[in-house]
Amino acid sequence: MADSTQLKSEALMEQMKLHMATDAGKKIVKKIGLVYQINIAPKKIGFNEKSFVVDLKKGEVKEGAYEDGKPDATFSFTDDDFVKVASGKMNPQIAFMRGAMKIKGSISAAQKFTPDIFPKPSKM
């Protein structure tokens, strides 16, 4: 249910979750096959973070930290920045260079994290 403290990124994550069940989503799972953890902070990276696991091995999106081992790469964003990267407004490389995106884990895994993974929201 929506309440006032909800992150914008949550909407995107939910859409991603639904997307995983589609053909396109399954293609992505086949193509990438990695597990990402994404930590989203409302205003400042590292503070009040909410974690999401985008499991592109199983094709699942869950809230909370990854429990089945170590994710291939972990990203940290602010809410707005994640929305920008997922929608293609901000290039991930640029985001990284500017510190808007923090990465932990395998760099090659991180490089596969591109805007095209995420479905785009449609506008009413």
Interface with another protein (CB under 8 A): 1-4, 6, 8, 11-12, 14-15, 18-19, 21-24, 27, 41, 43-46, 77-78, 80-81, 83-84, 87-91, 94, 97-100, 102, 115-116, 119-124
Q: Which is nearer to another protein, 2 or 69 (CB)?
A: 2
Q: If we measure between CA atoms, which residue out of 67, 31, 30 comes closest to residue 52?
A: 67
Q: Which is nearer to another protein, 68 or 94 (CB)?
A: 94
DSSP H or E segment with residue 80: helix 79-86
Q: Which is nearer to another protein, 44 or 69 (CB)?
A: 44
CB of 37 to another protein, least distance (A): 18
Report how far residue 25's alpha carbon sits from residue 116's, in angstroms, rounded to the nearest whole number.
Answer: 11
CB of 71 to another protein, least distance (A): 21
Report how far residue 66's alpha carbon sits from residue 62's, in angstroms, rounded to the nearest whole number.
Answer: 9
Q: 3-state DSSP: the chain helix, strand, coil percent, rounded to 5?
A: 35, 20, 40
